[in-house]
Amino acid sequence: MKLRLGGVRVRLWLATALPAMLVIGLLVVGFASQYGGRMAEALKDRGAASARQLGSAAEFSLFAGDRESLARLAEAALRSDVQLRGVILYDASGQVTAQAGRMSAPAPRLDGAIQIVQTKAFLVVAQPIYAATSVLQDDVYAPVPDVASRIRATESRLLGYAVVEMSLEALAQQRRDLLIWSLATAVGGLMLAGVMASVLADLVSVQIGRINHVVQRVGEGQLDERVDEANSGILRPLAKGINAMVARIATTQEELQQQITQATQELRDQKDAAELAARTDSLTGVASRRAFSEAAEAEMQRALRYRSELSLLMMDLDHFKVVNDTHGHVTGDAVLVSFAQTVQQLVRKVDLVARLGGEEFVVLLPNITAEQATALAERIREAVYHSHLLVEGKPLQFSVSIGVAQFDRRELSLTGWMARADAALYQAKAQGRNRVVLEMSEV
């Protein structure tokens, strides 16, 4: 089969270029976003600094009520920064004492705290202006040499507010410039990544073409063909692998067939072992829950077709948790193994004993009526009760509760059938354990 190098070249180019393009794009977007945010924060700090500077300069004039000085200060502040659109000075009662420029934003809230309001078009900063006065008090009752008699008290009083409005047009222009620069950088980086990816794709595609030629020759029967490993570049491991493969193909058909047969047998053995492990409980040696479900479904279909009898025993060891807690899990495992062996000795070869999990077991009984299944359950219960397991030289006695349920042809559900058997089992538990309870549906 001829390899289409054009498609390989395109895929190689995409595999090498796309990650680089993605990284470049993410870096540019991240840089633009972070730098744009820093510019906005810098403008906000600048507006706050302008308001503080104006408030500091206007403190005395506000205290003295000098409106002319305040007007000059407002005009000077407006001229000092081209981004300032308007300046207003308020007194403590919220009355305008001086204004310069044009304010397009609504009046800010004057509540004694600094206010910063930003929209898409402007930034408004309202800076409160406080006057600090120092008062010296004399303690006439203290001794004259005592310097502690002079106590300094400081009081702060609100004089007014300095409000500045800044235009965000310059910030918007800076962001547009940053976006253009970022796009230009991204395009340049993407072009560079594309060129490098093209070079790499061409180099690899040439090497793949050489390897493809050798593979085609080998496919035509020329088993003496080999790939030049020295000129294979980054595909040298692949070239070595192909040469080794050709060398193995060149072996005799008989040896190759033997290897295939041996490998096939090993795979078959592994598959059989895996299936056996999946269908057998590793501790007790009885069937697993999966094996029971498959067998039960098949027996249900057979019972429906031939109208034959089919029964089920649901068994649970009594007080098994006490055995584990008292004697340990090793003893508990020994009890499970002993119980499974006892049950298997009493059932027929066609019957299926399975462990559902923990101390819960089930027996599938084809061609057995509910009455016959109940009799078998009694024999199992009695045999288990009279069996003894030596633990540290002392006999350990345990018992089992069993629920019996007959297959109901109207139900057609393994889950429902097991639920009925399980209900009978729990009824046996409720009646004192170590007993058999039959739950039989009308057939």
Query: Phi and psi at residue 132, in whole multiples of 5°?
Result: -105, 125
Region at 160 (left for phi over 0; alpha for psi -120 to 50; beta for the rest): left
Rounded CA gap, 159 and 425, in Å? 90
The DSSP string of 215-265 is: HHHHHTT-TT----GGG-GGGHHHHHHHHHHHHHHTS-HHHHHHHHHHHHH
User: Which residues touch 148 (CB under 8 Å, ≥6 apart)?
Assistant: 139, 142
Rounded CA gap, 369 and 373, in Å? 6
Rounded CA gap, 102 and 403, in Å? 94
Longest dimension (CA), the chain: 125
Query: Phi and psi at residue 213, in whole multiples of 5°?
Result: -60, -45
Rounded CA gap, 221 and 264, in Å? 25
CB-neighbour burial class of residue 427 (10 A; exposed 0-12, middle 13-18, buried 19+):
middle
Question: Is 359 annotated as catalytic?
Answer: yes
Catalytic residue among 165, 299, 309, 359: 359
Rg (CA), the chain: 47
Active site residues: 359
